[in-house]
Amino acid sequence: MDKKISIILILFVIGTAIAGTYFKDILDTDSKPQKIILGKSYLIVPENAVVGVQVDRVIRDVEWVGVWDENKVPANYTPKNTDEVVPYMEGARTIELMEYANVSVVSLTPAVCKKDSLGKCYTKDGEGDYRFYMPPDKIRRTAVATDDGYILHDTHGVNMVAEQAAKKKPFLVIACGDMPSKAEASLYLANRGINVYTPCDRFQYLNLDYQAKGKIMGTAPIRNHTKGAVIGNQSVEIDRKEKIVVQWTDKKYPDQYCDTPWRYFTALNDKYNLKLNLIKIHADTGETYKVVQKAREENAKVIAVRIFDEKDSEPVREWLSEDTDNRAILFHSAPYVEGNKLFFDFPEQTSFGDLKPEFVY
């Protein structure tokens, strides 16, 4: 009798476990999205809009000796045509907006920073509060020292242009977004109805699912539009359960930006409790072949990468050409020629780190 009872109890426990797993799977399927759509977010930049820009890499470049150095171009210069804009990184994307939407470019300068008791510098917001942390490496040789800080003419990053943007109220701000304080400043401006575009988007994942009057766009492509220009609006679908091979690094400059894909996807996973099948691959600048190789090994159809140059783009380009179902989510890539080209060469297979993802249940 005891033996029968034991067998019944064992069968009951096994049955309960199986049923529990079964119903857990059903509940998991019902409560979580089946598909994730990245890249549907967009911003239309209308004809003749005013675009406020950081000085560095748009108006001039203090590292440049020649046409765009500080000896030939004042920091507050207003470009009259595309020939007067620095032709790379944020400057290259600004030129596209000038060509497509005839935007007016306004230089957002200067920034004023003040040191705290620990010697760290903070720049002002639009209300005059010293709010946004600014790293020491942005105190360029053109900075003017004050009693407790600096006046910074070669602004670089949303954190350094926030005060001037809040005062001048351009339709759009273009600046770097590769620090937490730059993401914080992006949200500050968006809350005031000022749109922000950061092709360098390392820390914009901090603004996932933001709620604001203005829009925040990361490393998204720019195209011509009937109303002017459009930033974004290039989407791909990802099944929640499919494998995603994601690039990361633990290296410092110049490789640090290669951790952007992992930062975004882990934040996306945690924010929405998606339980994504993420495969983490260490790959520095010029090493996207490692991500592609892992995708082939795992038969994964989605990768997340940062594209810097041709050495990065070629493995991804070859992999995308192999199968139209292969998709690549690009991060911190739009500033670079090869990264930006992939958006246009594979418009159905590439997208960006959308801060307002959509879900299909």
What would the pLDDT profile of 28-80 be if each residue is shown by its tens digit?
555 899 999 999 999 999 999 999 999 999 999 988 878 888 889 999 999 99
Neighbouring C-alpha atoms within 13 Å toward the C-beta of 66: 4
Query: How much of the chain, in percent, has pLDDT values that exceed 90?
Result: 86
Q: Which CATH superfamily is domain 35-40+234-360 in?
A: Response regulator (3.40.50.2300)
pLDDT higher than threshold 80 for residue 9: no
In this prediction, residue 23 has a pLDDT band, given cuts at 50, 70 and 90, of very low
* Cis peptide, bond prior to residue 357, ω within 30 of zero: no
DSSP 8-state secondary structure symbol assigned to residue 32:
S
Q: Supply the DSSP string of 182-202, one letter for each residue.
A: HHHHHHHHHHTT-EEE-SS-T
Query: What value does the mean pLDDT of the chain take?
Result: 93
pTM of the model: 0.91
- State pLDDT tens for residues 256-279: 999 999 999 999 999 999 999 999
- State pLDDT tens for residues 136-156: 988 888 899 999 999 999 999
**Which of 22-36, 147-161, 315-329 comes out lowest in average pLDDT?**
22-36
- State pLDDT tens for residues 223-256: 999 999 999 999 999 999 999 999 999 999 999 9
Residue ranges per domain, the chain?
35-40+234-360, 43-232
pLDDT higher than threshold 60 for residue 221: yes
Q: Are strands 130-134 and 35-38 parallel, antiparallel or unpaired?
A: unpaired
Q: Are strands 149-152 and 111-115 parallel, antiparallel or unpaired?
A: antiparallel
Residue 62: its pLDDT value, please?
86
Residue 26: its pLDDT value, please?
46
Identify the residue with better confidence: 128 or 20.
128
